[in-house]
Amino acid sequence: MPPNDYILRVGSLSKTYGASRALAEVDFDVARGSVHALAGGNGSGKSTLIKVLAGVVRPDRGGHVATPVRSEPADQITPSVSRQLGLRFVHQDLGLFEDLSVADNLLPVLAPGDSTAGFLGRQSLRQRARSILDRFELDIDASRDLRELRPAEQTLVAIARALSDFEVPSGEVADGVLFLDEPTARLPHGEVSELLERLRGYASCGHSIVFVSHRLDEVLDVCDAVTVLRDGVKVLDSPAADLARPKLVEAIVGRQVDSTNVRGGRADAEHREVLSVSGLLGGPLRGVDLQVGAGEVVGVAGLVGSGRTSLLETVAGLHPHLGGSVRVAGRELSGAGFRTMLANGVAYVPEDRLRLSLFPEMSVSDNIVPNALHRYTQSGLFRPRKASRAAARAHAQYGVKSPGLDAPVSALSGGNQQKVVIARWLSLLPRVLLLDEPSQGVDIGARADIYRFIGAAAESGAAVIVVSSDIEELLGHCTRIVGLHEGAISFSRPTESLARSELINLVYGMNEKVDLR
């Protein structure tokens, strides 16, 4: 780019933790009014780079961060200096308060540093909030509670809050860069395009955006340039228009990834029934009927609020149900709790791995074995060596990359944390495997590994149910796809009979029940 056409210049940025190198001489430029992708696998250094630029991690000496009007040594950047440089950040956790109104969530920018802000008249507060929403063309009632908004609208409120002080009185856009960390990860498929279109619009108005995403189609569709990190090193810096998907994948993973789809393990003609759910009631569920056979991988599609997660949690024994039956391998287990379902071979991998699956301060080894402690107990005594050996085998079998089995699991990348969770449950050889968004926030290499593990479980005879908002994953890895709409099954189709466009219409445009097949 021309020498003066950048809005952010990062040079020679390095960060080491003891003998471990997180970043090594990373440099890249962000063009003014562009969407610039920062891509890389889990553990590539993306998060460390963002934390350095936000001023919450101090890098090694020698690097610099510059805007057209100011340059700072990288090791002198604090949160205050980062803000002065015009850097703003919207993380996966949006930092919003669901129980407060939209206007209240915008309060920090409506009256920054004003100790009297809490006493602003409600009418005045809403009017000032409305002016921000209007500036970003958001048709959202400022008086509504945030929890009432769709996920995409909540993300846009967070973006508006971050960008609101980038506009100067003359109407020109002030210098600054917005960093978006996986902004589409929590969005249903139908809302992703809405957000991406908004981002392109903001860039065309002069805003500069750094877009962090594992979804490569989004990177190639919406971004102007792409920087790829691998093992802390910049391995690619290119205009997006010059990249094809295979080249981008190879840059991220360091090798070519086999894109062969894993559709179940055993194409048994009869698919011996393992899980039978009939007339299931509870929460949003309204009489769900679903049967899954050995070797099947059944995908569950539906909008947010359709009951997808409730279905898995109810089958797993985490939610009480008001009616209907659940049978596993012919045994009636209706109303059974989580421990009973686990004892009968039902394993559940929830969506929120950090909050619901992992013990962050415990070791990798201790996170792999907790559901099978009985296997390592003899005569009432726990056998730690036996447990450690089992953890080491699972660690190797499932390709977990970590500093060691004794390292805290919180030190691992998101993809490797998910592999730890998968290793824990698959080591139990479950009859029924329930997975909620198993590849969310996971890079393309780890995603391929996870679905390979799922396929192997099906090959061994497990009945698998996968909830996913990713249409391509459902089509690529499931033998059958069922739709949930307002708590009831709306369709059930073999994957080979579905085209992508038809599945999208069934999930996002359904007005009446589709004949079951």
- Summarised one tens digit per residue, pLDDT across range 168-179 is 544 555 578 999
SS (H, E, C) 281-317: EECCEEEEEEEEECCCEEEEEECCCCCHHHHHHHHCC
- pLDDT for position 123: 72
Which of 450, 428, 453 lies closest to 370 in space, CA to CA? 428
Most confident of 226-235, 298-307, 350-359, 436-445: 226-235
- Summarised one tens digit per residue, pLDDT across range 223-241 is 999 999 988 999 999 999 9
| Sheet architecture: strand order including 225-230 | 87-90, 177-181, 208-212, 35-40, 225-230, 233-239
Query: Global pTM?
Result: 0.68
- Summarised one tens digit per residue, pLDDT across range 74-91 is 999 999 999 899 899 988
- pLDDT for position 372: 54
Checking if the pLDDT of 206 tops 50, the result is: yes
Q: What number of residues does the chain have? A: 517
Alpha carbons 29 and 27: distance in angstroms, whole number:
7
CATH number of 1-86+176-254: 3.40.50.300
Distances (CA, A) of 503 to 189, 308, 394, 496: 11, 16, 36, 11
Mean pLDDT of 446-463: 90
- Summarised one tens digit per residue, pLDDT across range 8-50 is 999 999 999 877 788 999 999 999 999 999 998 877 888 889 9
- pLDDT for position 267: 46
Instruction: Provide, for the chain, the percentages of residues in helix, strand and coil under a 3-state DSSP scheme, each rounded to the nearest 5.
Output: 35, 25, 35
Residue 432 CB: number of other CB atoms within 10 A?
A: 22
- Summarised one tens digit per residue, pLDDT across range 91-144 is 877 888 888 988 888 876 555 545 444 555 667 777 888 888 887 878 888 888
Checking if the pLDDT of 387 tops 70, the result is: yes
Contact 488, 458 (CB under 8 A): no
% of the chain surpassing 90 pLDDT? 33
Alpha carbons 461 and 271: distance in angstroms, whole number:
9
Mean pLDDT of 316-339: 90
Checking if the pLDDT of 304 tops 90, the result is: no
Helices (H), 265-413: 308-315, 338-343, 353-356, 364-368, 384-397
Checking if the pLDDT of 515 tops 50, the result is: no
Which of 156, 187, 206 lies closest to 34 in space, CA to CA? 206
DSSP string, 10-28: EEEEEEEETTEEEEEEEEE
Contact 43, 214 (CB under 8 A): no
- pLDDT for position 289: 94
| Mean pLDDT score of the chain | 83
Higher pLDDT, 271 or 134: 134
- pLDDT for position 44: 84
Q: Where are the domains of the chain?
A: 1-86+176-254, 98-174, 263-345+430-517, 361-429
- pLDDT for position 517: 32
What is residue 512's DSSP assignment? Answer: S
What is the CB-side half-sphere exposure of residue 472 using CA atoms within 13 A? 10
- Summarised one tens digit per residue, pLDDT across range 477-513 is 999 999 998 889 999 999 998 888 888 788 865 433 4
Per mean pLDDT, which range of 323-327, 381-385, 402-406 is the poorest?
381-385
Does the domain spanning 263-345+430-517 belong to CATH 3.40.50.300?
Answer: yes
Alpha carbons 148 and 448: distance in angstroms, whole number:
35
